[in-house]
Structure 1
C-alpha cells in the first residue's frame, strides 16, 4: 500500500458556540488545518470528505458539505469543482471521513485530500432538537426490537432497562453494560470514577476542552446521578465544534518544505467494523476493528504509547482498554485505577480529556482525536505530552445496534522518534 500522511490537522475548541454557525466552525477548522500544513489555500486539494450528523434538524438534510464550503470557494480558499462526499455515521462520522480521504490517497485517485467534520448540538432556543439528533442514532423504524432486547439484557445485567426523560437512551445502555461488567468482573464504581477524574484533570490542561477543571474520584462519585453507576461527571457534555485533517501521498509530501515534512504523521491503519445485536458476553465490534487495524499496521497493541478512546461515558474507557488489547478482559477497571492510563503511566489514554472533559460534538469527535494524537506524536502537547510517543491509536464508535455501536473506526498513527 502507498504511505499516507497527515500534514495538517486542527480542532476548534469544543464548547457551546451559540454565536457561531456551521459555516463559521467549518471555516475555523479548515483554515486551521491549512495553516498547520503551511498552505495559504487549498488549491491542490483534489477530494474532500465532509462529516456532520445534525444539520438535518436545522433544515439542511442534504449537500451539507457543499453548503458549508461554498463561502470558502467564493473566497478563493477552497478550489472549485472539487468532489465533496457527505458522511454521516453518528459519533464515528469524523473517523469515517478520514477513512475516505485515506482511501483516496491509497488508491492513487488523489495526492491531497481533506477530511473535515462539524457539529452543533447546543440550541438554547430549541433544546428539543438536541434530543432528536441523538435519537437519530438508534433504530426508529422498529424501536420495539431494541426495547425488548434491552429489557431481556437488563435482567441478565441486574439493572432493569428504565429510560428516563432527563437523559438519552444511550446513557442507560452504557449503564447496563457497566453493571454487567461489575457483576461479572468485580469492577467498581470507584474505578469508573478514577477514569473520569483522570480525564477531567487532563482536560484542565487542554485549551481545546469544554470542561477545564480538575476533579477527584470523590468529586466524581458525589456528582448528580444519571443512571447508576454513572454520574454526570462520567458522561460527555453537549457542545459544538469542528475538526479537520489534510492527508497526502509520499510523493506530494516530498515536494513540501522540510519543516512540513518533519511534522508529517503517517496513517499506519484505518479500519472500520459494523455493529450487530450481540450478547453481553460477546466481544464488541471495536475489537474487530482493532484486530484489522493491527494487521494493517503490522504491529500489536504493545507498541501503542498513547491512545484516544470513545469514552461517551467513563465506563467505555475501561471496556475499550480491553477491546483494544491494552489489558486482559475483565481487567479494565483495575488497569485504569492503577494509574496505567494517566500521566506517567504505561499507556496514557485520553490525554485530550476524552469525551467527558474535552467534549463530544458528535460528528467532529473522531477528527479531534486525530488532532490530539498528531499533537502528541509531534511532541507538541505541552503539559499533556507523553514522552517518546511513536505509535498512537484512536478508537471511535457511533450509533447503537444493541450493545454494539453501529459503526466503529480504529486509526493507528506512526511517527518515528
Structure 2
C-alpha cells in the first residue's frame, strides 16, 4: 500500500555567481544537506537513501557530496536530467517513500558551474552528438542558427513566435523579469537582490532578441536539499508541525507534439509541462484554482509566460496580459516565484528543482519572512529541462 510522503526539512546555500566563493561542490552539499537535516531535527543516520542531482560533475560525485554528511553506507543515486535534475531527484525520494521502500530519504542537488552562457546541453558538447540536437534542429529549420547563446536562442525564438501568434509585447516579457527581480530583493539566498523597472530591463544588453540580460537566468553555484519521509516517520518523530505533504507529482517527457509543429514553443517544453500538470491535477483532485503560491521554471522570461498557459492559469496567448495585470505577484490571484525565480535567484541546474520546493516549504509553513505569501496553503513547483523532462509537484500544508 502507498503511504503519503512529506517534506519535513529543507536547506540551501545562497546561489552565487561562479567563482565568487572558494568552495567545492561537496562544501555546498554539506551546507545544504546539514541545513535540511537540522531543519527536520534528525541525524543523517536516520536517512536510508540519497538521490543526488547534478549535471556538470563527474560520475559518483553524488557519493563524494553525501559523504560530507556521514559515512553510513546508504545507497546513493546519481541523477542527471538537465535543468529538471533537482526535481527528478526529489521525485525519486518521493517514490522511495510512497512505495514503502524507505521511511526517510534525503534529496540533494548541487552545481558548480563555469562562467558564461550554457552550450547546447548540460555537457556543453558538440551539437552533432548533443542529446538536444533534435530540438535545435527544429529551431534551425524555422529560424536558422545565429551566433548567440544556444539556450537563449531557442527560448528567444519561442518568444518571437508567441509575439507573432498572440501579439505578446516586449514590455510584457520584461514585466516577468521586473516582477522576479523585485521579489528576489527579499530573498537572502538569491544571487541577485536588485529591483529593476520594465524600462530598465528593456534597456539592458540584448542576449537574443527580444530577450535582454535581465530576462535570462544566470549560471550559478549552489546546492539545495530536502528530507522526504513517510507518514509513519512523521508520527514517530513528532514532526507534524514541520510536515508539508507532497500531494501529487508527475514527470512528462517529449512526445510527438513536441516536434511535429516545428514550433519552438513546443520544442522548449510547453506540451510536457501541460501534460505533467494535468496528471498532477487529476491525481490530487485539485486544480490551479486551489493553488496559492507557485515556483516555476523561468529560465527565460518567455518560459514563465508559456508555463502560465501550460498550468492552466490563463488561456493560450493570454499570459502576457496576465503578468501585466499583476495577477501573479503579491495582491494578485497567485504569487509566482516569490523567491525571485531562476532569473534572479539563480540557476545551478542540479539544485534548482529542490530549491523551488524549499521555498514552497517555507511559504506553506509561514516561514518566508518578508516574502511570505499570506495564508498560503497549497503550493506548486514546476521544473523543466530540454531534452526533455518536465516535473510538476503539488504541495500542501499538513
| TM-score under structure 1 length normalisation | 0.88
Match of 1:366 among 350, 353, 366: 353
**Change over 3 Å in CA distance of 1:399–1:304 after alignment to 2:** same
Structure-2 separation of matches of 1:385 and 1:142: 39
Partner SS for 2:32: helix
Q: State the shift of 1:239 in Å.
A: 1.2
Is residue 409 from structure 1 mapped to residue 391 from structure 2 by the alignment?
yes
- C-alpha distance in 1 between matches for 2:183 and 2:378: 20
Look up the match of 1:2.
3
Aligned pair in 2 of structure 1 residues 145, 98: CA closer, same or farther (>3 Å)? closer
Instruction: Report the Cα distance in structure 2 between the residues aligned to 1:194 and 1:345, rounded to whole angstroms.
Output: 14
Residue 38 of structure 1: how far off its partner (Å): 1.3
1:289-304 alignment runs, 5 A limit:
289-304=276-291
* Separation in structure 1 between the aligned mates of residue 215 and residue 110 of structure 2, nearest angstrom: 24
> Structure 1: which 5+ residue stretches go unaligned?
75-79, 155-160, 401-405
Name 1:54's counterpart in structure 2. Answer: 56
What is the rounded CA distance, in whole Å, between the counterparts of 1:128 and 1:191 in structure 2? 24
Check the 8 A contact 1:203/1:357 in 2, yes or no: yes
Q: Which residue of 2 aligns with 1:177?
A: 158
SS in 1 for 2:68: helix
Closer/same/farther in 2, CA of residues 320 and 253 from structure 1, 3 Å limit: same
C-alpha separation in 2, matches of 1:408 and 1:137: 24
1:138 and 1:270 mapped to 2: Cα distance? 32
Among 106, 112, 122, the residue aligned to 1:114:
106
Provide the TM-score with structure 2 as the length reference. 0.92
Q: Does 1:274 align with 2:229?
A: no
Describe the shift of the 1:375–1:128 C-alpha distance in structure 2 as closer, same or farther (beyond 3 A): closer
1:361-407 Cα distance to aligned partner (Å, 9 max, x none): 1110000000011111011111211111111101100124xxxxx01
Q: What is the match of residue 234 of structure 2?
A: 253
Deviation at 1:163, TM superposition (A): 2.7
Q: 2:382 aligns with which of 395, 399, 415?
A: 395
SS in 2 for 1:272: strand
1:207-222 to 2 correspondence within 5 Å? Answer: 207-222=188-203
Question: Does the C-alpha gap of structure 1 residues 411 and 142 become closer, same or farther in structure 2, counting only changes over 3 Å?
Answer: closer
Whether 2:88 is the aligned partner of 1:96: answer: yes
- The equivalences for 1:98-247 within 5 A come to 98-122=90-114, 133=122, 135=124, 140-141=129-130, 145-154=134-143, 161-164=144-147, 167-247=148-228
- CA–CA separation in structure 2 for the residues paired with 1:181 and 1:227: 15
Q: Which residue of 1 aligns with 2:30?
A: 27
Question: 1:173 Cα deviation (Å)?
Answer: 0.6
**CA–CA distance in structure 2, aligned partners of residues 171 and 130 of structure 1:** 10
Contact 2:50 2:107 (C-alpha < 8 Å) held by counterparts: yes
